[in-house]
Structure 1
Amino acid sequence: MRTRRVLTTLGCALSAVLATAWTTTAPTPAPRPVTEVRTDDGVLRGNAHDGYRTFEGIPYAAPPKGALRWAAPRPAAPWHGVRDATRPAHACPQAAGEVPGGSTDEDCLHVNVTAPDGADPAHPRPVIVWLHGGGFTTGAGASYDAHRMAVRGDVVVVTVDYRLGALGFLAHDGLPGSGTFGLADQQAALRWVRAGIGAFGGDAHQVTLAGESAGGYSVCAQLASPAARGLFDRAIIESGPCTGTPDHPFAPSSAPLATARAAGEDLTAKVGCGGARDALACLRRVSVPRLLAAQDTDQQPAYDTPLLPADPAAAITAGRYHRVPVLIGSNHDEGNGWAAGIIQAGNPVTAETWPDVVSAFFPAPGQAEAIVRAYPVHGTDGGPVFGAVIGDADFACPTARTRTLLAAHVPTWRYEFADEHAPPLTSGTPPFPLGAPHASELPYLFDLGGRPRDLTAAQHRLADTMIDYWTRFARTGSPDGPSSPHWSRRTVQSLAPDRVAPTRTADLRHHCAFWDAP
């Protein structure tokens, strides 16, 4: 069996494959009627649709180029005349994947706004600010068409692009903001929302910060960041448990500043700046493609920093986080996508290979043996067992721990997305049925890549129910309401086409007593 490092790389590669599959670029649309809105920075021209309006590529900060590369976000410059906002701006630099052909344009700090028709200044709408996932290395706000959420839920949705990879999370000795530039961008976007969302009919005093995977973990980081105080009023965390740790390679997490700086030194040497008299000046001259080629596959925010003084897991364990209501959850089969990708890459999981597979991830003495006993593999079809270990250890049980810690101080609701026939996010046939894997809830909330997924009638009803829950939470601080199945704070709400109801067995199903044992 290959080393854990190789397995981690394969897992990250699978994340890119997933992104490619479920965010394919939509066909070029026919010309649409336009609409205009006046903001403090100038007039924007957007698209008018049936019942809603979209404004894309709105700058919320100055382009982080040249001397502003690896600097705190600065205010965007106002513009004269009418600025075109009818099409997405460039995504932040990243390799090809979710963004076809990738991106090398550092002028990428933009937001996209989707707002229902009929703005009433006397009755502004709640706002949901969405942070995309992608392992802090890929993703784009424009991948998430939010019109169903905006129209059905009567909310304004803002999707955000923030710096990724080494450009977003480089740490270097003497560099202010080391390891947290992407998080600082998210805060700048939230300040933009507080200051200007009223022009789009949004309520600057009802802002929900939401995200999935790395975006969900970003919400955790903002909950723990003193600099984010007062920037949002509620939080939604999808498949980004705040208590994830770096020794579990598939769940998003943060790293100590010392570790991040060591990775930064490696990058500096790789791009030829290790011996430069002024290494930062040298790094700022390196081309974006060269930086992308040299950066690690995995990226993490750094803590022990001014923006993130403590690991979010430690901060939340200690009760040091912003007191806002939280909706948090994970998917029933989070780990199956990674397990399938690793198997398809030539790493079979059988009764014979299973102990070596587990040892690659859990090298502590005695740990692998305990996992093999708790999760036995019989015969040659060990993929679902492998997926269960990844999902339980890295998502389901950390989500349960996070919910318990948050619920001690703030209203907290937990869900488990459990549609075992969720639309596949990849093409081709997986080596085993994936059930409800990582990211499979997203097509129920968004049209990914501008294209709706093929859903059955029951799945459409589930999508409507989820949007009702999410947007009611944004409006009231609670997803529960008379028009949807009752959701109790004391249980886990199972979200499936045939049954939206509380479940009390989720933690037992995911072996959380085993994973939580000291």
Structure 2
Amino acid sequence: MNTTARYAAAVLALLLMTGCATASSAVPARERPADAPLTVRVDSGRLHGVATGKARRFLGVPYAKPPTGALRWAPPQPPEPWDGVREATASGSKCPQSTPGAKPSTNEDCLFLDVTTPRRQAPGTKLPVMVWWHGGGFTRDSGSDYNAERMAEQGDVIVVTVNYRLGILGYLGLPGLPGSGNFGFADQIATLKWARRNAAAFGGDPDNLTVFGQSAGAMSACALLTSPAAEGLVDKAVISSGSCRLDWPTGGLFPGAPAHSPYVPLRRGQGDGLAAARELGCAEGEELACLRSKPVAELLPKTQQFADHLAHGTALLPVHPATALRTGAFAKVPVISGGNHDEARSFVAGAMAFDPKLITARTYPELLRRAFGDRADEVGARYPLSKYPSAGLAWATVTTDRSWACRTLAGNRQFAAHTTVYPYEFADPDAPDVNQLRVPEVPQGAAHATELPSLFDLHGVDLLRGGPQRELSRQLTGYWTRFAHTGNPNHDGAPHWPSMPKATPGAAGAAGAAGAAGDRVLRFVPGAVASADFAADHQCRFWDTFDPVNARGAAGRD
């Protein structure tokens, strides 16, 4: 990986790691006559949790053996049973990762999850189970960063937040290594199986499981729907800022970075693994044994080379997820799918903070040329510098529309041809600045990850400000948790959220027979949750001409 690409991966991972939130009751309040028990039995043994003012929590629960020694780069194995009662009152270690400004985490014994339930439950309760897959560019973050107490209590759901292997430890590939490129993905799947097996212990319904994720977690959740492992495992999915169709043209994620998607062919993944082994001094033919012998601290400098590196052409992910969407080869479960109005502003601001000379009025035409080749002038005419206060804001709008918004719309059209899809956009112009970027030329608005404070408290901190944001959080969490209960997010007291119409392949118009209705989403803005013309706002009819079959849900480049 060249130096520019490594900088890009580092900025991406930093930006994808943030999140925070709150919740709202989406279902009629149940009568809960007593506190739920703090000691429960799961399939590995008994757990003793902790009660808070709102919730009951079981923290640091192992769902697999430590992936160390011979289990480093092996599929997850069931945890060892324990005798007696295990204290589940503190979260487990984060999976190995490096975070700027913080001491690296190097503990491979990290395959833990946290379970959060309402504090009070009626006997015989069977609540929906929601399993959260965090973002972080496949290289950073942990489930324990997302406090789900408000969601569990107000939405009357059980929330399971999980760790999974990251970076080189999660996505390394080598020729002949079973599970190559999929170890983190296999961990995620293992969390769903754990949740199904153990839901009843917490008052949950093992036959009502929703996977939901953001960014890397959403890319994984979308990929899961295209995996043979999904059959009978998940009942619903929420995909936030992570469509199966997501990809970036040259420079689209970071100036100078090559065009890529989050999903890589197995052969490329194996080649990247061999290259990393060479860089770490491993001899040919001895790569796996050599890498397993190395301390985590020696591996971590290579982990950014495995950002956005989920392998396809494998048993868990036979084809590129975009191909699976195109052909209809995915689990036909209800889906919520969407993203944020200003996704790319965080990435652009991060690049400008790194080097202000990367994105300027002078470099803007070259950025367009590298990304769009002989159609650069067309894009420049659609997004002229004269229309924007800064070159950074112009480039952020181009990359938001092309790579995030319109690719998500294309994926949603393909989902809607086979199942029920509820499309949305988070668009709070004053959303909490979870990315902590201070670049005046690129105000963050509803940038990547800024919706997360409406769903979780990051590290237990509530970042919401004022009544309108709290009401938006109440609405957003209400939709998410009602969807977990029934597969339909609509509920009393909330604006109606229509599902996406099914487009007719080959019909006239950019969205086929669905027409303008198929281009609309429910837009979340404080005090103004309403239907909006998503395709018009993000110029998706223009971007469809770069990949015309997007319009009828057929497919573009995989």
Q: TM-score range by the shorter chain?
A: over 0.9
Query: Which residue pairs with 1:470 in the alignment?
Result: 480
Cα shift readout 1:245-286 (whole Å, capped 9, x = no counterpart): 3646648620111111111111110111133x4321111111
2:511 maps to none
Match of residue 115 from structure 1:
117
Note if contact 2:464-2:470 (Cα within 8 Å) is conserved in structure 1. Answer: no
Q: More displaced, 326-335 or 345-354?
A: 345-354
| Matching residue's letter, 2:446 | A
Distance between the aligned counterparts of 1:141 and 1:295, measured in 2? 19
In the TM superposition, residue 19 of structure 1 has moved relative to its aligned partner by 6.0
Match runs of 1:426-437 below 5 Å: 426-427=435-436, 429-431=438-440, 432-437=442-447
Q: How far off is 1:56 after superposition?
A: 1.0
Q: Deviations over 1:447-495 (max 9, x none)?
A: 0121000411000000000000000000010111222111111430000
- Is 1:14 the counterpart of 2:22? The answer is no
Moved more, 342-351 or 485-494: 342-351
Q: For residues 20 and 174 of structure 1, what CA distance do their matches in structure 2 show? A: 32
How far apart are the structure 2 equivalents of 1:346 and 1:56?
41
Residue 516 (1) aligns with residue 523 (2): no
Pick from 278, 281, 285 the counterpart of residue 286 of structure 2: 278
The answer to whether the aligner puts 1:449 opposite 2:459 as a matched pair is yes
Superposition TM-score, scaled by structure 2 size: 0.86
Letter of the 1:337 partner, please give it. Answer: S
Change (3 A) 1:6 1:415: farther
**Any conservation in 2 of the 1:350–1:380 contact (CA below 8 Å)?**
no
After TM superposition, give the deviation of residue 9 of structure 1 in Å.
Answer: 4.0
What aligned pairs does 1:37-56 form with structure 2 within 5 A after superposition?
37-56=40-59
Q: Counterpart of 1:486?
A: 496
Alpha-carbon distance between aligned partners in 1 of 2:400 and 2:248, rounded to the nearest angstrom: 15
1:229 aligns with 2:257: no
Q: Where do 5+ consecutive residues of structure 2 fail to align? A: 21-35, 254-259, 501-519, 548-558
Q: How does 1:44-193 map to 2 (within 5 A)?
A: 44-97=47-100, 100-120=102-122, 122-193=124-195
Aligned residue number for residue 429 of structure 2 = 420
Structure 1 gaps, min length 5: 24-32
Q: Which moved more, 1:428-437 or 1:307-316?
A: 428-437
Q: Distance in 1 between matches of 2:406 and 2:360?
A: 25
Whether the 8 Å contact between 1:19 and 1:134 is mirrored in structure 2 is yes
2:470 alignment counterpart: 460
Decide which of 194, 202, 205 is 1:203's aligned counterpart. 205
Query: Would you say 1:496 and 2:525 are equivalent positions?
Result: yes
C-alpha distance after superposition, 1:123-162 (max 9, x if no partner): 3100110000011011100000011110110000001111
Q: Offset of 1:10 from its aligned partner?
A: 4.1
Distance (Å, rounded) in 2 between the aligned partners of 1:430 and 1:306: 44
Closer/same/farther in 2, CA of residues 439 and 252 from structure 1, 3 Å limit: farther
SS in structure 1 opposite 2:40?
A: strand
Give the stretch that moved more between structures: 381-390 or 351-360: 351-360
Query: Residues 236, 380 of structure 1: CA spacing in aligned structure 2 closer, same or farther, 3 A cutoff?
Result: closer
**Aligned pairs, how many?**
501
Q: Which amino acid aligns with 2:399?
A: I
Paired with 1:164 and 1:128, the residues of 2 have a C-alpha distance of 22
Within 2, Cα distance between the matches of 1:451 and 1:179?
34
Going from structure 1 to structure 2, the CA distance change for 1:198 and 1:244 (only over 3 Å counts) comes to same
Contact 2:18-2:136 at 8 Å conserved across structures = no
d(CA) in 2 for partners of 1:489, 1:509: 19
Aligned partners of 1:428 and 1:389: how far apart in 2?
A: 20
Contact 2:265 2:312 in 1 (8 A): yes
- The answer to whether the Cα contact below 8 Å between 1:271 and 1:286 also exists between their aligned partners in 2 is no
